[in-house]
Structure 1
Amino acid sequence: MKINILFLKADIGFDKAYEKHLEKIIKNTAEEAVKIFNLKRNNLNFTVYPYNKKLTDGFTQALDWIRFSIPKKVNENELRGVICHEMCHIAMNYSYYSGRKTFLETLFAEGLAAVFEIEQIGKTPLYVRYNSSFIKKWLPELNR
């Protein structure tokens, strides 16, 4: 599999040395996820946009394309987690362009991706807010 990484140009862009560092993190983490999921794709494309926010954001645009928005001062463990999360979506054939999804499909896809991220990184991401009492409360609703 060929991994392609494109750094988009922005006013607050990264210098070349830091781009190389980020590229290494993205490639290594993606390659590990490819092995875990046994993905069979010819290409995997990443676009990286530097922006003025605090958290790293990822979005699976298509089954061979992940878009990242990365702060100037990135938390590398958080970046690895976002990569794992988005790679899980690819493994589930779940992307923006893969068709309309039901709320339940989205719930499971996001939940599984969050669990994979936690398993790989060993830390619960800031956006994960559920716990066992929350699940016990909503499970009967899902059964209806």
Structure 2
Amino acid sequence: MDKENNALIIIDVQKAFDDKKWGDRNNLSAEENISKILTLWRKKGWQVIHIQHMSENPEEVIITKKVNSSFIGTNLEEFLKLNHITTTVITGLTTPHCVSTTIRMSGNLGFNTYLISDATAAFGLKDQNDNYFDADTIHNTSLANNSFATIGTL
């Protein structure tokens, strides 16, 4: 990848997700994997964008959002286009919500979109009939229900 046309987007990696109210989670090494990717990105001097994460590094962009998509109600699309970014590499929390919504928008907006599956995670969820689906099932189903990004691992 070329520095001039790619960005790492880290979504909602926040302490709030450590709360037990979220329930069981899969991929407990997601944050460690995100850290490894972030370290590589910083070493290469490539663009890093944090969504709702308060980074202390002034070279990194911080964008706050109020809905699942990192593109809705934010300047993310404008920032990417103004900086000639054509490729997004997406990581973060949670796979079926903010991550999936963001990769769909990224793909629909014409960006070459990559999702690093072991740098994302999900929580178990109940459906409308109160049937429980464990975190791995939710994560894997979210990955399977994707035609907007190329899925890879660290």
**Length-normalised TM-score, structure 2:** 0.28
Could you say which structure has the higher helix fraction? 1
Larger radius of gyration between Structure 1 and Structure 2: 1
